[in-house]
Structure formats: structure tokens, C-alpha cells
Structure 1
Amino acid sequence: MIRQLRRVLGPEHQGQYTRFLVWATIYGVLQGLAVSLLVPIARNLADGDWSGAWRWIGVLAVAVVCCGIAHYIQAMRAFGVALVVLRTMHLNIGDHLVTLPIGWFAGKTGSVAQIASKGTMAAGGAAAHLMTPVVIGIAAPASVTVSMFFFDWRIGLALLIAAPLIALAARAAAGLIARSEHAAHEAAAESSERVIEFARCQPVLRAFGRTSDAGYPPLTEAITTQQKVARRTMIESVLGLALNGVAIQLVFTALVVLAAALALGGDLTGIDLLALLGVATRFVQPVSEIGEFGGALRQIRGELTRIQNIMDTQPLPEPTRPATVTAPGQVELDHVGFGYEPGTPVLDDLTFTAPPHTMTALVGPSGSGKTTITRLIARFYDVDAGTVRVGGIDVRDQTTEDLMAQLALVFQDVYLFDDTLRENIRLGRPDASETEIDEAARLAGVTEIADRLPNGWDTRVGEAGAALSGGERQRVSVARAILKRTPIVLLDEATAALDPENERFVQRSLETLREHATLVVIAHKLSTVVNADQIIVLDEHGRIAEHGTHDDLLARGGRYAAFWLERSSTRGWRLEAAPS
């Protein structure tokens, strides 16, 4: 675990951690030495050698003072290390997470939350509260054992033999305690994931009468599994502590029997026996604490391993010498193949180009890979075959910063932060002026929203924008894209579920974006599709079935014509009352 903590701290803080360990070791050695000094003091008192006894008492006083000083220094260093561990881990994890591909996060929300909260706190607590007794539990008995060889080699030898036996028992107990730790973590992560899902999906669940966790089987199952794992962990923890306690008592009993035998044989005086029993007690106590903390240490090692696994996850590779954009605003997919799972392709040999300042609409059935295309353009994933070029350059030859500076993304599921309306728009370009924010808001129809909110622009929109409707959140997302003023804008079903008023604002915003940007749009609304410069029609296998303008595709009478006919016919539907 010491090596794991050193890796987490990094080279710049390893010296601080080493100094803490040195002072903890000094504290433990001084503890053992102070206890061992009881033996010569007792012998001198028994022999009536008062001057010798006072000399040893003086040495003991010095040892106690030094022990107190070492205790204070190591305690302060322990807290310092704990704070550094917490700060370093949070910063390092956060910095590393933003470099990982978006696809890595699928299904890991609960696990990452557990690691970033419980895992980091546990590791910081281990540095402050667990490592000190563990180091003392090794250093103090070692000091006592060495000292005993100077006073009675037989007791020293017995302690030397007892130490590894206790250590083996403690190791076995720790292994028993920690055996279910991985399963407990996985169960807790799954339960957290389901709780988050349960909270987020309340509108859907309530609409169908699922108002309790019993009405949502995944959450009920996750909680039940966590309870079963917790019971098993508790049972194994009790067994581990019992094993460790029995081993400690057996060793202590053996030491008492040996000391008593030596006393009865005349090799030890009664005062020697009492002093040695006190030393034996001080030998056993810190060793027993190692066993008590062993299970916790194994759990901390598990948390550190999971943290390190995140840190060892390789980010998408970035070039050391990024290429310079040669065709601003151009998007090109060249014989692209991709699948989320091996052997299950989503896109197959896909090739098309979206020229600068044009609008390309992606049309096709569900599962044809429309959203996947936008994700590959934004490099949420790397392609399995072929090349995706943005600005004329392979996205793999650009840094994430350079690539995202060319893109603005407007997706159907919009996330707003629990901040003011203005600050949520400012996210598009943090250095934008108030005038630029106001203009972007006006074009996207957000000004009208601000005018009727209780605190206007200073109204907080709530977590995930809960204070706004879905259409209003979409307008804010479009305002971000307008404010960012990138050469390329990706829109995934931006108008799919909007009412006429919100759709009107979004459509007007698209026209504004089209004046200075290339648009790649996934859309099912006829008004969006018909205005595209080119339409890419995908089939069920992620291949291009047709491409061309609206009029060209209608004239061919293929998939797109059938799609258009279907949408045109449904547009004229209306509901009428049944005859009485």
C-alpha cells in the first residue's frame, strides 16, 4: 500500500510521505525502547541499586520526552500527507478523466462517483489514521525484541519467533476480512448507479405509476444484492477479528508460560517476571492492532487499486505536433467503419463530405448510425477503419482542444448546470462580452425566456435545467452554439420533440448558424430536411443508401421518397370526436 500511495502522490510529494514514515518509525522505536527500559529499572530496584535505577529512570525520561516529540511531529506530518493525498487524488483524477474517451464512461457513473468520493476519502484517512498504528505495530515490537536480547536472550528469542506467527495470523485475518471487499464495492457502485437512474427518471416512472423503489426492479435488485454482500462482509469481518484475537492470546499465553517457567527455575526473579510480563503486553498490543487494521488496509488497497486503474486507463492518443487545419469548416468521412462492440459494426465503409458553409442532413431508421457519425466527428470514439477529417485534417492528428475549437454540439438531451441562465449561455465562450451573450440569446429566443422568469437573467435554472422546459433548454443549447461561433455545428435531433413555438426559435437559429458555419444535422422534421444542401440516407447496416438534394432524392423514388411520403401524409392527420 505504501508503494500505491507513493504513486498516487507523485514525485513532487513522495519526499513528504517518506519523512512522515520515518517519523512514525522513530516514534514506534522509541515506544518499544521506553517499555524495554522497565526491565533494567526493575532489576536495579530489586538489587537495591538506587543510583543505577535512577540512571535508567533518567534514560527512560529522555526516551519518553523524545517519544512525545516524535509523536507530535509524525501526527502533524500524517495530517499534512492526508490533505496532500486528498488534494492530489482529486486533481489528478479530474485532470485524467477529461482526457478519456467519452465512450469509456458508459455504465461507469456510479463507480467513478464511488471512487472519487469514498475511495479518495478512504485513502486520505489511511494516510492519516491507519499508517501510523501499522508502522508503530511493526517498529515498536521490533524495538522490544532487539532490546530483550540484551536483558534475556531467551525472552528475546521467544519474541522473535512469535512475531512472524502473529503476522501470519494477522495476514490470514485481513484476507478473510477483505475477501468480499471487491464484491461490496461493485454492489455499492451498482446501487449508486441505480439510485441516480431512479432519481433522473422520476417523470417516466411516475407516469406509469412506479412511485416507489419496489416499482423499479433494477433498483430493488441492486439494493437487495448490496444487503446480501454487506451481511457476508460483516460475518467474514467478525471471523477475521476472532482469528486475529485467538492468535494474539495464544502467543501472549505462551510468553507468560515461558516467563513463569524461567522464574520457577530460578533463572528470573519475581520482579524480572513482572517487568517481562509488562514488556510482553506492550509487545503484543501494537501487533494486535495490525490485525485489527489489516482488513481496513486491504480495503484501502482495493480503493487505491481502483484509483490507479482509472489513472492507468489510456486516453485517446494525441499528436506531439498537431497538424494545421487546411480546409476550415469541412467535414469528411473516408471509408469509415465503426462498432461499439467487436464484431457488431454500426457503420460500414461510410464515405461523404460536408463542404464548408453547407448543411448536411442525416436521415435513416433508428440504429442506422446517425448519432454515431456525430460522435466520431467529435472524436468521442476512434474509428475502427477509415478516416474522419475535420478542417481537412484527420481528427487523430489534432489535439482535443484544437478539434473542439472547431465544433459546437447541440444534442437532443441538453444538460444545463445549476447556475444562472446567463452563465449557462456563457459556457459556449467564457470570454464573451455581455453584448455578445445578449445577441446570441436574442437569436435563439432565450431573451423571451429571461423576460418571464422571476429573477430574469439571474434566475438559477436548477440541476440539469429542471426549472426550464425541454424546448427552452434546447434554445439555451443553441444560444451556446451561436455564441461559440465555430466553423462546424453538429445537431442531433435538435427539433425532434419541440412544440411549434420552440421549433420556430430553433429553426431561426439554424439559419443564423448556417451563415457562418457548416451544419451536420440529424433530423426527422420535414422543414429541416428540405432545406439541406445534401441529404445522406443511411440503411439499417450503417451504409449510405442514397445521397443528394431533396428534389433529386424525391425524383429517384427510393428510400428517401418513401420517407418523405410517410412524413407528408402524417402531417395532415387530425383527431376528430367519435360519432355519438
Structure 2
Amino acid sequence: MNKSKWLLSRFHRYMLDRDQKMHKKGTLFCILSGGLIGLALAIMMPATTTLQTQSTQWGVSFWGWMIVLASVALLASVFSFLGTKLSYTAGLGFMKNMQTIVGNKVARLPLGWFQADSAGKLSRMVTQEMISTGQTAAFFIGQLLKNASAVVVFCIATWFWNWQLGMLLTLAIPVLFLLMKISQICVGKGNSLEEPAEQEIASRVVEFAKCQGALRACHVGADYEELKDSFVNSKKQSVRGLWWSALGQVLSGMGVQMLVAGMITFVSLLGLAGDMGALETVVMIGVTLRFTTLLNDIVSSLFGMEDRRQMLNALDEVVDTAEMPSVTKTKGNPKNSDVSLNQVDFAYVKDKPVIRNISFTVPANKMFAIVGPSGCGKTTIIKLIARFYDVNGGNICIGDIDLRDFTTEDLFKQVSFVFQDVYLFNDSLKNNILMAKPDTSERELNEIADLAGVTEMIQRLPDGWNTLCGEGGRALSGGERQRVSIARALLKHAPIVLFDEATSALDAENETNIVRSIETLRKRSTLIVVAHKLETIQMADEIIVLNKEGHIAEVGSHEKLLAKNGAYKEFWDKRNASSQWKLA
């Protein structure tokens, strides 16, 4: 989205057709209202002349001008009411539709898009920023155009009353609006400094709240440097932004005051020269002061809109994020649950590849383990198979179908995940498992619970199946959350199951349950496991060994790889030695 475009068109992008039409109609009423306000100010000039001279002006008497003025004021009030009502209704529609658009977009974004700070940014976007941007659609745009049209009409009408004053305004107004534009740029610069810092604070606060366990374990529960640094940086950027905003305010205020001072001086000179009566002069000075409020309101509206531009930029950034290409219908049916990677290359950052030229095939109903040093791309391979990202080179197939030829829904029917970092919803234990298959019978659910070790939990927890898991599953231990995740995978009956470090940090009891579940899953699913536990690795039919450069170093069964006396043998010996360590 072009961020330099007029904000009105950018707001209409997030409105339904009926809200767009309503907003356009409301904006038109605001413009008409503003034009009538400018005309009412202009009418004060001939009306005052007729009152002072007791003669007609352009064939209309004083009371005739009063009737015209009252009619114009009444009509301006009606148009202002209609414009405000329609604009606010459209603004509310904008906020409602914006939430829908962001929600739908988030549901379609690649899973790899989501980072640790995504929750803070998105929560701020659909709460505080939503209200602020909605206020612009509902109020600032209409007020800006209303006051601008009032200024334009007043300037044009002034030519008919006094050409010198008309000339003054005609020459001064463009200069004033140039100063306002420069002021708006200065304010925008200030906001561009402040907004990212505020987003950083929001993300760090969410992180601080979610990671209290880890922070307290490191004795930084109340002294989190990253959060402190975000506040320090925010203060620094706020001061810089304030200076830019102050410069904008000074420039706009200076322009308005210079124009008003010039108008008052000119009107006073006309009065002293006798070209304008005393009453006329006093009224014109009052009209000038009222004109000043119009100019100040324009400045306020411009700055108010500029304040929201950064928020709209953040919204555009999410909505304009490229989605993975998706087909509307899966191209064929996979002949089996084989998983094959063919010369796959991938990099999170351009020119910094994580994996290079990876090729292997996992036959249906076989178990492959992936091992290697940290950072070699083990988890990346799992995420690519789940299509969290698209490969940079080569392709990945399920059966004989490229992942990119599956619809998202059909792909996730094929694949189930068991990750080390399990997220559970703040719902009952039962409902968290039933997410995988809501229509499961009680008998099947109990069988799955027995297999995954969940039955022991149910019997031990006071509320059994109805135990609330807490936000993120914090009411359960790490091992218990893993059991629930395993139960989901068992219940889903997916042809392919991906394990990522699922047994790396579990106690013996939990690990026994998970290993037993893996034994069951491998009888009916294709398993790809990233693991460090020796027992899990030995279970695999084939083991893929990656080196630190992201290449495949070795492939084979446990016995064959040990016999090669290569990278896997070195890995195995180190793991085996560490498993024998004891505290003295």
C-alpha cells in the first residue's frame, strides 16, 4: 500500500461498501457545512455595512441579510449534524471491519511470520490503535475538510467585499498551507520515532508477563534489563519526537498568527483611513478571530491525522504481508504418506542459508530421526515439512504431491505436530484434547488418554477432565502439557506426525508415556523426529545426520552409522558419555 496516498483512500480500504458510501456521504455533508460556515462569515461583512450605513448592500437590507445569515447557519448546522452522524457510524464500521480483516489475515499468514513480539503488536493494533485510527475516520477527516472548505469559501467571498483583503488572503493562504504541510511532516517524523519504541514496550511487557518463570529462575524477575532498556529507549525517542512535534507546532502557529496579525492590521488601517466604519472594523476583527479558529482547527486535524498515520502504516504492514501462494483445490490425492525432500535449500535471511541441498525420503509408516549440532537446521526441516515457510529451492512432497499444491486445510489433515513448546488454551483438559477431533467418542478418548499417560493426570487432578489448563497451559507441568499434545496427535490420526525435541527435557515417567505413544504412532503414521534422547534415536528406522553447515553428513540405521565410525558415532559417544554423568 502506498503510504503517501491521501489518508481517506487508505481508510476506505478497511471499510465495507456500505460504510464507504456512508463515509463519503458524511464527508460531503461536512464539506457543504464548511462551505456554509465560510459563507456565513462572509455575510457578516455586507450585513455590518448595511447596519452602519442604513442602506442596502447588493440590493439587500440589513434584516434581509439577517434572514440569509440565519438560513445559512441553520442549513450549516443540519449538514454538520448529518455529516458527523454518518462519519461516526462509518468510523464504527471501520473499527469493526478492521478487527475482522486483521483476524482473517492473521489466520492466513505463514506460521513462520509469527515472532515473540507478534502478540504485543497485534494486541495493541486491535485495541488502542484501532480506537485511535477509528477516531480519525469518524472525526478528523470530516473536520479537516469542513474547516478547509470554510476557509476557501471565505477567501473567495472576501474578493467581492474588498479586493485588497481578498488579495492578502489569496497570497497568504498558500504560504500558510505550505507551512502546515511542513509542520505535518515534522509531526510525522516525530511519530515515526515514537511509535516503534512504544511497540517495543508493548512486546516486552507481554514477554515479561509470559516468561516470569524463566526470569525468576535467573534472578531477574523484577529486574529485566530488556524491559528497562525498552523504557529508556522509548523515553529517548519520545524526547526526539517531541522536539520534532514542537517544531511543527511552532511553524504552523507562526504561520497562523502572522496571517491573522496581517489581517487585523490591514482591517485596522482601512478603519483609520476612513474606508471602513468603526462598527465595520470591529466586526471584521471579530470575523478575523473566528477565521483564526478555523485555521487552528485545520492544524489540529492535520496533526491528529498525522498521529494516526504511523498506526495505519503498522496496520497496512500486517495486511500487506505476502501470504504463501495457495491453491483453491488440492491437485490430486497423495498416493501414500511418504515424505520426500528434493534438493531443498532454505534461508531465513537472504544469502545466509540454513540448510543446503537436502534430499531424503521417509517411506510411509516409517520413523526417521534427525540429529546434529545446534543450529544445523533440524527444526527448520520440521517447519518446512509443515509449510511454516516455503523452500527457497527444490521441493517437498507428501506422496507424489508438492506441498504447494495442497490447500492449507488438506495439508493440515495430513500432518500433526508435537513440539517441545506446547500451547494449551484456557479451557478444560478434555476440550484441549478434543480440538483434534471434536466428535470423538468417550471410549476412544479414554483409550487415547491411557496411551498418552493422561489418565493418570485425570485421576490425580481434583476436577479430572474438567481441570482448566490455564492460559498457555500454565496450570500444568511441562511434561503434562506434552502428554496432552501427544494425545491430540494420537486422536487426530494424521498420516504424518512431526516431533520436535518432544522428549528432550522430560522426567522418566513422562518420557516413558511419550515413547510408548511413539511406538503406537509409528504403526499407523509416518514419523519424523528431532531428538537428542538416545532411546528415541534408537527407535528410528533411519537416522539423518546433519553437519553444522546444514548438509546431510550421513544417513542410515543406528547400527550401520555406528559401524561407519563417522559423525554419528562421535555424536552417539558424546551423548552416551553425558548420560552417565552423576553429581559428585
C-alpha displacement at 1:411, in angstroms? 0.4
- Verify: 1:161 aligned to 2:165, yes or no: no
The answer to whether the 8 A contact 2:334-2:398 is kept is no
Change (3 A) 1:240 1:418: same
Q: Does 1:76 align with 2:76?
A: no
Amino acid at match of 1:175: I
Residue 30 of structure 1: aligned partner: 36
CA displacement at 1:61 relative to structure 2: 2.1
Matched-pair contact (CA < 8 Å) for 1:241–1:292: no
Deviation at 1:259, TM superposition (A): 1.4
Q: Distance in 1 between matches of 2:262 and 2:439?
A: 74
For residue 546 of structure 2, what is the amino acid of its counterpart?
L
1:466 and 2:474 correspond: yes
Question: What does residue 48 of structure 1 align with?
Answer: 54
Tell which deviates more after alignment, 122-131 or 149-158.
Answer: 149-158
Q: Select between 190-199 and 111-120 the one with higher mean Cα deviation.
A: 111-120
Alignment correspondent of 1:249: 257
Q: Per the alignment, in what secondary structure is the counterpart of residue 389 of structure 1?
A: strand
Residues 407 and 490 of structure 1 are in contact (CA less than 8 Å); yes or no, is this contact kept in structure 2? yes
Q: Do structure 1's residue 443 and structure 2's residue 451 form an aligned pair?
A: yes
Aligned partners of 2:33, 2:440: CA distance in 1, in Å? 57
> In structure 1, what is the Cα distance between the partners aligned to 2:363 and 2:264?
89
Alignment of 1:170-209 (within 5 A): 170-209=180-219
- 1:141 and 1:284 in contact (8 A); partners too: no
SS at match of 2:14: helix
- Residue among 127, 131, 141 paired with 1:131: 141
* Equivalent position of 1:419 in the other structure: 427
- Specify which of 399, 402, 423 is matched with residue 410 of structure 2: 402
Amino acid corresponding to residue 386 of structure 1 in structure 2: G
Deviations 1:373-392 (A, max 9, x none): 10110111111221111232
Gaps of 5+ in 1: none
| Alignment check: 8 A CA contact 2:22 2:87 kept | no
Q: What one-letter code is carried by the residue in structure 2 that aligns with 1:70?
A: F
1:19 pairs, out of 19, 25, 42, with: 25
| Distance in 1 between residues matched to 2:443 and 2:33, nearest whole Å | 64
Map of 2:336 onto structure 1 = 328
2:202 is equivalent to residue 210 of structure 1: no
Q: Which residue does 1:119 correspond to in 2?
A: 129
Residue 367 of structure 1, CA deviation: 1.8
SS in 1 for 2:468: coil
Whole-angstrom distance in 1 between the partners of 2:353 and 2:284: 75
User: SS of the residue aligned with 2:480?
Assistant: helix
CA contact (8 A) 1:8 1:308 kept: no
Secondary structure of the equivalent of 1:468? coil
Distance 1:65 1:260 in 2: 31
CA distance in 2, matches of 1:437, 1:125: 50
Q: CA 1:38 to 1:435, structure 2 compared with 1: closer, same or farther past 3 Å?
A: farther
CA 1:437–1:142: 2 relative to 1, 3 Å: farther
**TM-aligned CA distance change 1:575 to 1:302, over 3 Å:** closer
In the alignment, structure 1 residue 369 sits paired with structure 2 residue 348: no
Which amino acid is the alignment partner of residue 254 of structure 2?
V
Alignment partner, residue 298 of structure 1: 306
Shift of 1:148: 2.3
Counterparts of 1:574 and 1:232, CA distance in 2: 56
Determine helix, strand or coil for the equivalent of 1:496.
coil
Residue in 2 aligned with 1:477? 485
- Separation in 2, partners of 1:257, 1:395: 76
Q: Would you say the 8 A contact 2:193–2:238 is kept in 1?
A: no
Q: Which amino acid aligns with 2:104?
A: D
Distance 1:92 1:237 in 2: 32
Question: Among 505, 522, 540, which residue is 1:532 paired with?
Answer: 540
Aligned residue for 2:521? 513
Contact 2:426–2:470, Cα closer than 8 Å, also in 1: yes
Q: Identical aligned pairs, as a percentage?
A: 37
Shift in alpha-carbon separation, 1:57–1:447, aligned structure 2, 3 A: farther
Asked whether 1:312 is paired with 2:340, we answer no
Cα 1:174/1:443, change in 2 over 3 Å: same
| C-alpha displacement of 1:8 | 3.0
Distance 1:147 1:359 in 2: 84
TM-score computed with the length of structure 2 as normaliser: 0.92
Q: How far has the Cα of 1:489 moved from its partner?
A: 0.6
Match of 2:508 in 1: 500
CA separation of 1:459/1:232 partners in 2, compared to 1, >3 Å: closer, same or farther?
A: same
Correspondence 1:349-360 to 2 at 5 A: 349-360=357-368
> Which segment is superposed worse, 422-431 or 334-343?
422-431
User: CA offsets per residue over residues 470-517 of structure 1, 9 Å max, x none?
Assistant: 000111111111222211110101111111111122122222322321
Q: Is the 8 A contact 1:350 1:543 kept in 2?
A: yes
Give CA deviations for 1:556-577 in whole Å, capped at 9, x if unaligned.
333333433444444444445x
Does the 8 A contact of 1:175 with 1:295 survive in 2? no
Q: 1:456/1:34 Cα in 2 relative to 1: closer, same or farther (>3 Å)?
A: farther
Conservation of the 8 A alpha-carbon contact between 2:129 and 2:311: yes
Q: Which moved more, 1:223-232 or 1:262-271?
A: 262-271
SS of equivalent to 1:386: strand
Letter in 2 for 1:218: E
Mark the runs of 5 or more structure 2 residues left unpaired by the alignment.
1-6
**Distance in 2 separating the partners of 1:441 and 1:60:** 81
Counterpart of 2:3 in structure 1 is: none
Q: Distance in 1 between matches of 2:522 and 2:565?
A: 29
Shift in alpha-carbon separation, 1:374–1:76, aligned structure 2, 3 A: same
Aligned counterparts of 2:86 and 2:103: Cα–Cα separation in 1: 25
Q: Identify which range, 433-442 or 523-532, moves more after superposition.
A: 433-442
Offset from partner CA, 1:451-471 (integer Å, 9 cap, x none): 333333233222211111000
Does the aligned pair in 2 maintain the 1:329–1:518 contact within 8 Å?
yes
Task: Spell out, residue by residue over 1:353-402, the C-alpha distance to the aligned partner (whole angstroms, 9 max, x if none).
Answer: 11111111112222221111101101111112211112321112222222
More divergent stretch after superposition (319-328 vs 414-423) = 319-328
2:13 paired with 1:7? yes
Instruction: Give yes or no for contact 2:116–2:207 (8 Å, CA) kept in 1.
Output: no
Residue 456 (structure 2) pairs with residue 456 (structure 1): no
Amino acid at match of 2:181: R
Please identify, of 547-556 and 363-372, the stretch whose mean Cα deviation from structure 2 is larger: 547-556
Distance 2:497 2:560 in 1: 25
The question of whether the paired residues in 1 share the 8 Å contact of 2:193 and 2:241 is answered with no
Shift of 1:535: 1.6
Which among 93, 99, 112 is matched to residue 103 of structure 1? 112
Distance verdict in 2 for CA 1:33–1:265, change over 3 Å: same
Deviation at 1:76, TM superposition (A): 1.3
Which shifted more, 387-396 or 170-179?
A: 170-179
Pairs aligned (count) = 574
Aligned to 1:379: 387
Which of 152, 171, 177 in structure 2 is aligned with 1:142? Answer: 152
Amino acid at match of 1:342: K
- 1:497 corresponds to which letter in structure 2? A
1:39-67 superposed Cα distances (whole Å, 9 cap, x missing partner): 23322322335982222222222222222
Q: How far apart are residue 111 of structure 1 and its match?
A: 4.0
The residue identity in structure 2 corresponding to 1:5 is F
Alpha-carbon distance between aligned partners in 2 of 1:34 and 1:20, rounded to the nearest angstrom = 21
Residue 161 of structure 1, CA deviation: 2.4
Name the residue aligned to 1:94: 103
